């Protein structure tokens, strides 16, 4: 295939989920519904925590920021896909592609680091309950959120700098419904091995380090819970981090699948299904997991409903 010079590549073509015109109205309704559910669900979590003084604790402060990151994460890809389905156009400009990639990495990485921060919060609450208020003070909580955002911004800019160094691309067709960073790197006509090394190295730092932090926190949490003598005490201690652990498993299972999907899966359609799980389903399910598995959230939602009624 003829190499296209970067100065002449002003746009990319997104493959999309399906070429079947009969499926377009169904896809439009499905993803519009999922997007609205995700945004409204996360906004409800933020409203509930903000309006209830019982939830003004570090755990729910981090949960609010996680909900904000989820709203930004799903808003990066789904609205563009909805517009593409409606207008029957899958073209995205070069600048728009880089912007979407940067914002996608920004909010995805913020989600990742916030989950690590929340794991540390649960570690302090369970393993050092008497010192919890002193350790998890408002200054530290704000600092941890700022570090999460700043680190994610650094990650997104590193990807931008890598892509901006490319002088040519093999193709302008991208087998996904958004500008997937891994696929964009593979479209570059320079050495693919070098691109892969850089991609996996950056992924190991900004993905592996937070995952290691979560693993270490839960190792300490489980060790502490096992030392509790009563079964009721063990259940109470573990129930405080059950929702977070569910979200962590959902995020990393789908995230790892999306990260390695373009390499391991030979079918672009299968790769896109994995991307849908990571970019759409996960942000949509997070508020439901926290509201259904958390007694404090359910009680606060009921109090909020009672005040409105």
Structural domains for the chain: 4-308 (1.20.1070.10)
Q: What pLDDT, on the 0 to 100 scale, is given for residue 225? A: 82
pLDDT of residue 276: 86
Residue 284 tokens read as 């949509």
Under the banding of pLDDT at 50, 70 and 90, the label for residue 269 is low
Confidence of residue 268 (pLDDT cuts 50, 70, 90): low
With the CA atoms of 301, 115, 227 and 57 taken in that order, what torsion angle do they form, in degrees rounded to the nearest 10? -40
The pLDDT of 106-121, averaged and rounded, is: 93
| Average confidence (pLDDT) over 73-92 | 89
Q: 57: which residues sit within 8 A by CB, 6+ positions away? A: none
Q: What percent of the chain clears pLDDT 70, i.e. is strictly above it?
A: 87
Mean pLDDT, the chain, whole residue set: 83
What pLDDT is stored for residue 233 in this prediction?
A: 66
Cα dihedral 92, 183, 283, 24 sign: positive
Please name every residue paired with 168 in a beta bridge, in sequence order, or none if there are none. 5
Question: Which carries the bigger pLDDT value, residue 145 or residue 169?
Answer: 145
Average pLDDT over residues 151-177: 82
d(CA 215, CA 249): 11
Of the pLDDT bands very low, low, confident and very high (cuts 50, 70, 90), residue 8 is: low
CB atoms within 10 A of CB 242: 14
**The pLDDT of residue 122 is above 50:** yes
Does the pLDDT of residue 4 top 50, yes or no? Answer: no
Beta bridge partner(s), residue 13: 91, 173
| Stated pTM of the model | 0.88
**H helix or E strand, kind and range, residue 168:** strand 168-169
Question: Which residues are bridge partners to 20 per DSSP?
Answer: none
Alpha carbons 94 and 299: distance in angstroms, whole number? 47
CA dihedral 199, 119, 226, 292 (to 10 degrees): -110
- Which pairs with CB-CB distance under 8 Å and at least 24 residues apart come from 237-242? 237/126, 240/122, 240/125, 240/126, 241/119, 241/122, 241/126, 242/293
User: What per-residue confidence (pLDDT) applies to 267?
Assistant: 60
| Closest among 24, 69, 137, 79 to 287, alpha carbons compared | 69
Which residue has better confidence, 204 or 210?
210
| CA proximity to 188, closest of 199, 178, 203 | 199
What is d(CA 131, CA 45) in angstroms, rounded to the nearest whole number?
Answer: 27
- The number of angstroms, rounded, from the C-alpha of 206 to the middle of its chain's C-alpha atoms is 13
Q: Which of 78, 51, 83 is nearest to 64 (CA)?
A: 51
């Amino acid at each position: 295939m003829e190499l296209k010079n970067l100065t002449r590549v002003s746009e990319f073509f997104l493959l999309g989920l399906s070429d079947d015109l009969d499926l377009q109205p169904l896809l439009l309704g499905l993803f519009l519904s999922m997007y609205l559910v995700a945004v409204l669900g996360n906004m409800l979590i933020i409203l509930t925590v903000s309006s209830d003084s019982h939830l003004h604790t570090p755990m729910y402060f981090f949960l609010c920021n996680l909900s904000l990151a989820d709203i930004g994460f799903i808003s990066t890809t789904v609205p563009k896909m909805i517009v593409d389905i409606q207008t029957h156009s899958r073209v995205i400009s070069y600048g728009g592609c880089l912007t979407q990639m940067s914002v996608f990495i920004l909010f995805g990485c913020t989600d990742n680091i916030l989950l690590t921060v929340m794991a540390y919060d649960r570690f302090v609450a369970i393993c050092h309950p008497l010192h919890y208020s002193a350790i998890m003070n408002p200054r530290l909580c704000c600092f941890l959120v700022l570090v999460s955002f700043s680190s994610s911004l650094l990650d997104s800019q590193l990807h931008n700098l890598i892509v901006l160094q490319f002088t040519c691309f093999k193709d302008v067709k991208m087998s996904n419904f958004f500008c997937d960073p891994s696929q964009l790197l593979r479209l570059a006509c320079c050495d693919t091995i070098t691109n892969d090394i850089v991609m996996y190295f950056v992924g190991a730092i900004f993905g592996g380090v937070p995952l290691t932090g979560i693993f270490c926190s839960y190792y300490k949490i489980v060790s502490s819970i096992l030392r509790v003598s009563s079964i009721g005490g063990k259940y109470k201690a573990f129930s405080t981090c059950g929702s977070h652990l569910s979200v962590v498993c959902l995020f990393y299972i789908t995230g790892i699948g999306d990260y390695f999907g373009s390499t391991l899966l030979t079918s672009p359609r299968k790769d896109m299904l994995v991307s849908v799980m990571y970019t759409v389903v996960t942000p949509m399910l997070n508020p439901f997991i926290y509201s259904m598995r958390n007694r404090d959230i359910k009680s606060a939602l009921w109090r909020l409903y009672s005040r409105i009624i």
